[in-house]
Amino acid sequence: MRIGTADLLACPICRSALRLEIHSARGDEVLDGALRCLRCGREFEIADGIPRLLPSKLRGIERQVYGSIASYYDAYLPIMEYIYHNARIAYMRKVEDACIRLTRPHGLVLDIGCGIGRQSLLLARLGCDVVATDISREMLLRARERAFREGLEHRLEFVQASADALPFKPRVFDRAYSLFGAFNHAPRYVLGFKRVFKSLKKGGAFLLSVLNRYQLTWWLEAILRHRKKQLMRVLTKKPYYLTMKLGRKRRGLWTKLFSAWELKSSLRRAGFKKIRIGCVLLFLRPKFRYEPDLELRGLEASLAGIEEALRWFPPFSSLGAYIMALAEKR
């Protein structure tokens, strides 16, 4: 962490200023140290150059939920790139990149739930200075490795933080991004949206995508295949645990599905005024298994072409596997 980055940070609990304590450094890089809140006195570790600004002193179910999210993504890392290697995810990534460019990224930007850094690196290549956050330390370490390989480390800073407890001062970012569903796994997502809003400068923009409760392909499949449990889970609107076998263990990930209306309403409650809703993977379901070919072909390519024309038009904008929202701070 660069010494100057401390000027952007605030306590994730009480939002007050932090005092930087340096234990070891190399030039202007803090390798190990701590950040201490001047108000509540909580101390947050800096280890191997990455500040750990996670909610502390959680109890009961809240502690279990946040612990499971971090451990899930740490365990998910080894297989992530492999199972995302297929044409549908590649198409989705192209859509995300086009939407990022639509926001005209510039200045200092925030990437929430950066994972292994795909969008962070794109933003850095576009000339932005990027603060990349993730709840998983293992993801951040991999993202930092990629930044060094591309010679972009001078444009990126990495912070371990939860999407719904962002540790930043008000009005510091020009743009904020959260793609591929980070806020589906943020229990206090409304608080998270409020903190994004406060951290943006006037005229800033926030681009995010989340898993959709009312995705067209999912509903059609559930009805045609008589999957009653799947339908009931969606209709009850309760969060649930998405499970996957990772290594020898089956792990659960707290998941909240959004409708377009819920997402738009939550962003308005956070303070955003102008909100545009679009869809991603309208006629295709996301696929999480390895395939060598990264290009859509035949019928799938034709369906993607139709999606391009319908992306931002209701009711189609509300029916994709993922909802894309572009919100502006005025």
Residues 96, 211, single domain; the answer is: yes
> How would residue 30 be classed by pLDDT, with cut points 50, 70 and 90?
very high
Mean pLDDT of 229-251: 75
Q: Is the pTM of this model over 0.75?
A: yes
Q: What pLDDT score does 222 carry?
A: 80
Task: Domain of residue 147: give its range.
Answer: 58-328
Residues 107, 148, single domain; the answer is: yes
* Range list of H helices, 150-290: 189-199, 216-224, 228-236, 260-270
> How would residue 219 be classed by pLDDT, with cut points 50, 70 and 90?
confident
Residues 193, 289, single domain; the answer is: yes
CA nearest to 272, candidates 319, 189, 171, 202: 202
CA terminus-to-terminus distance, the chain: 31
Q: What pLDDT score does 327 carry?
A: 98
Instruction: Answer whether residue 165 shows pLDDT above 70.
Output: yes
Q: What pLDDT score does 61 carry?
A: 60
Residues 99, 13, single domain; the answer is: no
Tell me whether strands 29-37 and 18-26 are parallel, antiparallel or unpaired: antiparallel
Q: Phi/psi of residue 202, each to 5°?
A: -60, 135
Instruction: Answer whether residue 251 shows pLDDT above 90.
Output: no
Q: What pLDDT score does 138 carry?
A: 95
User: What is the percent of the chain with per-residue pLDDT over 70, rounded to a whole number?
Assistant: 97
* Cα dist from 219 to 102, 175, 225, 234, whole Å: 30, 34, 10, 9
Count of CB atoms situated within 10 Å of the CB of 65: 17
Residues 107, 6, single domain; the answer is: no
Q: What is the rounded distance in angstroms from the CA atom of residue 263 to the CA atom of residue 20?
A: 36
Q: How many domains does the chain have?
A: 2
Residues 169, 230, single domain; the answer is: yes
Instruction: Answer whether residue 83 shows pLDDT above 80.
Output: yes
Domain final residue pick, 36, 53, 70? 53
Tell me whether strands 43-47 and 50-51 are parallel, antiparallel or unpaired: antiparallel
Residues 186, 68, single domain; the answer is: yes
Residues 106, 254, single domain; the answer is: yes
Q: Range with the lowest mean pLDDT among 74-78, 208-212, 242-246?
A: 242-246
Mean pLDDT of 162-174: 97
Mean pLDDT of 5-19: 96
Domain final residue pick, 11, 29, 53? 53
Instruction: Return the higher-pLDDT residue of 125 and 251.
Output: 125
Residues 44, 146, single domain; the answer is: no
Q: The domain that contains 323 carries what CATH number?
A: 3.40.50.150
Q: What pLDDT score does 55 carry?
A: 84
Contact 113, 143 (CB under 8 A): no
> How would residue 60 be classed by pLDDT, with cut points 50, 70 and 90?
low
Instruction: Answer whether residue 58 shows pLDDT above 70.
Output: no
Residues 142, 230, single domain; the answer is: yes
Mean pLDDT of 123-142: 97
Residues 102, 19, single domain; the answer is: no
Q: What pLDDT score does 59 carry?
A: 59
CA nearest to 189, candidates 158, 162, 170, 213: 162
Domain final residue pick, 53, 76, 96? 53
Residues 24, 106, single domain; the answer is: no
Instruction: Answer whether residue 102 shows pLDDT above 80.
Output: yes
Name residue, tokens 């990349």: 132
- Buried/exposed code over 22-31 (b: 16+ C-beta within 10 A; e: otherwise): eeeeeeeebe
Contact 55, 165 (CB under 8 A): yes
Token digits for 1? 């962490």
